[in-house]
Every structure is written in structure tokens, then in C-alpha cells.
A = this chain, B = another copy of it.
Amino acid sequence: MPISRIPSGIKGLDSLVEGGFPAPSVILISGTAGSGKTTFAFQFLMEGAKKGEKGLYISTLSERTEWMLRFMSNYEFFDPKYLEDGTIIYEDIGKDLGTLDNMKLIIRINEILAEHVPQRIVIDPINVVNNFVDNYRQFLFELVTLLKNWSAVSILTGEIKEGEKYPEDVGYTADGIISLLMKTEDNVIKRYIQILKMRGTAHSMALHPLDITSNGIEVLKARF
């Protein structure tokens, strides 16, 4: 019984993971500031929306919706109609951080999931929660447990420090971990993507060059 998969929406990525992300699954997208995590997340949601899959974007940043979408609207893959017609839902839990405790925050997220029943879920960025909850590792454990109870593909974005590969707090419980890397070579930052973990998947073990253009993120053919 082969594992069912869905396309990631990132050009050049699916062929590295046997055709797409396992469905259901919880995938961690990690990278430093500016590595393209939010862009990755929106490409993932837009890909689903084009096929009618309901998407949910949960922001932890307490920004007005327009603020973030303005930056995304520069990308050609971004089609605002899916936000307008409710195929993609934008929710902000930034205002709940600091007022809700661990358990209530989990309950709040569950309510959002129950209301929209999405097939693709994004929580971006997950690490900001660390500033507010008492026990971040417990929260992550319970959040991933919650997400695994919904038959969706969930993406958590995690900002890491330079030199880290992924946020170790959540690595063991994620089904997949993809690292967006920025390496300084000859005084220029080069972008790479690496699949560190993808359960049930014979995935690429290589560091693949990446480009971010007006088309969004694209995995390039390596030229080593």
C-alpha cells in the first residue's frame, strides 16, 4: 500500500521526495531570517488552492492581514482570489499569545482547525510561541499531536540560528524536515535546500541549489 502524496507547489522539489509530501504528515520548514520560509508556505497553499484544496495559514505575528499579503502579492504564484473566496483562510493567533496558556492555545488552534477543516495547514513561524508559553517543548509536542489528528498536510516554519540545521525542539516528532540554507560563498549568499527527514520516503540526500525569483522558490538542478 503506497503512501499517498500531494504536490508541494515548489518547482523541482517533488521529484526529490517520491512525488510529493506524504499525506497526512507534519513537515517542518526551517531556515534563518530571509531564507524564504513564508514564501515556501504560501506556494504550498496556493498549489492546493488551484486544485480546490482548502488551505489555512495561521500567522503568529499579529500583523494586519494586508501587511504580509502585500509582500506576497509581488510573487506571480500568488493569486489573491483564493483568499477572497475563502479557499485559503488567513488567521492570526499573535493576539492570543501572552493571553492564553499552553492548553488554551492548543484548544484555540483546534477550534480554528475545526471551523475550517483545511487540507493544507501552515503555522508561520512556530518559534515565536517560545516567547510566550511556559514550556515550549511541551507545547510543540501537543501541537504536533493535535495536527496528527487532522488528516491534513501541515507545515510548521521554524526560524533557526545560523549554524543550526533545524529546531531541535520539534525534530523528533515531525514526519519531515526540510532545511532552507543560506551559505556565504565568495562573499555572496547562496541558497540551498536539503531534505533532512521524510518518513516513508526515499528522499534525496543532497544539498540542492535554490533560487527565489518573482516565480517564488525553485529548486535548481545541481551543478557540482
Which A residues have a C-beta under 8 Å from some C-beta of B?
1-3, 22, 24, 32-34, 38, 61-64, 67, 70-74, 94, 97-98, 125, 127-128, 130-132, 135, 137-138, 141, 145, 148-149, 159, 161-162, 164-166, 168, 171-175, 177, 182, 184, 186-192, 194, 196-202, 205-207, 212-214, 222, 224
Q: How far is the CB of A185 from chain B (nearest CB, A)?
A: 10
Which residue from B71, B148, B165, B172 sits with its C-beta under 8 Å from A67? B148
User: With A196-B33, A205-B188 in contact, do A71 and B213 touch (Cβ < 8 Å)?
Assistant: no
Q: How far is the CB of A175 from chain B (nearest CB, A)?
A: 7
A70 to B182 alpha-carbon distance, docked (Å): 34
Q: How far is the CB of A180 from chain B (nearest CB, A)?
A: 12
Instruction: Tell me how many chains of this kind the complex includes.
Output: 6
Q: Tell me if A63 and B145 are in contact (CB < 8 A).
A: yes
Q: Tell me if B224 and A207 are in contact (CB < 8 A).
A: no
User: With A131-B138, A199-B71, A214-B202 in contact, do A149 and B188 touch (Cβ < 8 Å)?
Assistant: no
Q: Tell me if A166 and B200 are in contact (CB < 8 A).
A: no
Most buried by B among A97, A173, A213: A173
Give 9 closest A-B pairs by Cβ, nearest first: A34-B197, A71-B200, A33-B171, A71-B199, A187-B207, A131-B137, A189-B205, A159-B172, A188-B206
A131 CB contacts on chain B under 8 angstroms: 135, 137-138, 141
Q: Tell me if A74 and B200 are in contact (CB < 8 A).
A: yes
Closest residue of B by beta carbon distance from A198: B34
User: With A131-B135, A141-B131 in contact, do A194 and B200 touch (Cβ < 8 Å)?
Assistant: no
A148 CB contacts on chain B under 8 angstroms: 63-64, 67
User: With A1-B73, A32-B171, A148-B67 in contact, do A202 and B213 touch (Cβ < 8 Å)?
Assistant: yes
Q: Tell me if B33 and A166 are in contact (CB < 8 A).
A: yes
